[in-house]
Amino acid sequence: MILDGKKLAGDIETELSRRVAAIKEKSGGKTPILATILVGDDPASATYVRMKQNACRRVGMGSDAVELDKDTTTEQLLAVIDQLNRNEEVHGILLQHPVPAQIDERECFDRIALAKDVDGVTCLGFGRMAMGERAFGSATPAGIMTLLRHYEIPLSGKHAVVVGRSPILGKPMAQMLLNADCTVTICHSRTRGLPDLIRQADVVVGAVGRPEFIKGEWIKDGAVVVDAGYHPGGVGDIELSAVSERASAWTPVPGGVGPMTISTLITQTVEAAEAYYGVG
């Protein structure tokens, strides 16, 4: 089974358009607005931000683009975030990762108000999610969970191996799977005996950030394979060509996890606006 994130994201956008229209009707013409902050001139980051802004437009939302110089300081960025937190017209805030080296990224992430943390990057949001409390999940792992639920992939009691430990992907992914009653093993690039650990997995999530780091021969027949990586040449973190015929379900690269990340970001912005305007 191919876990088609591109198709699902399109279906979700159709529903979001309806929800945005309901918000406009209830609020007297107001629309959900996602504020995007781009610091510096990294072309890949600029492309990602543009894709998110385009998704906003497709569902009838607004987007407020904030572009800052590459020499921006932590204090200057914090001041921008404070301003957006106070702006009642803005319902979600996205700080594009990564920021230039002179900026304390974690401090800036954590300055985002919980109600506007639609990308799920704050420590407070992570902690609440981990404890089963209301919070927006990190966009990529939350998108993966939506994809697995849509295709009715059984998770309860399964052994999931997450390869990667980043604060906005690997760690929240592991916690979400744990909350879904998986038994979870967290691995990374320095894990000893990694192939043997992966061979035990019913569900494998590649989130290590290295092209085809996870070999197809390490994955057992019938496993569910989720590849959250994307690298030049259209490859992910997993050697999908060697596993697609043996996996029970797998995400293509591109067209699997990527579209779900943006879909989740937009969905959570709509949810934030619905909460603000008392819709739904």
Task: Please pick, among 53, 96, 175, 268, the residue that the annotation labels catalytic.
Answer: 96
Distance of CA 255 to CAs 24, 214, 228, Å? 31, 19, 11
Q: Is residue 175 annotated as part of the catalytic site, yes or no?
A: no
Closest CA to 55 of 221, 264, 214, 262: 262
In 3-state terms, what secondary structure has residue 205?
strand
Q: Is residue 52 annotated as part of the catalytic site, yes or no?
A: yes
Q: How far, in Å, CA of 205 to CA of 226, rounded? A: 5
Helix (H) or strand (E) holding 81: helix 74-86
List CB contacts of 121: < 8 A, sequence separation 6 or more: 95, 97, 109, 112, 138, 167, 168
Task: Please pick, among 52, 116, 158, 171, the residue that the annotation labels catalytic.
Answer: 52
Beta-strand pair 224-227/62-68: unpaired
State CA 170 to chain mean position distance.
11
Task: Please pick, among 53, 116, 119, 268, the residue that the annotation labels catalytic.
Answer: 119
Q: Is residue 96 annotated as part of the catalytic site, yes or no?
A: yes
Q: For residue 40, what are its two tokens?
A: 């510096």
Catalytic residues: 52, 96, 119
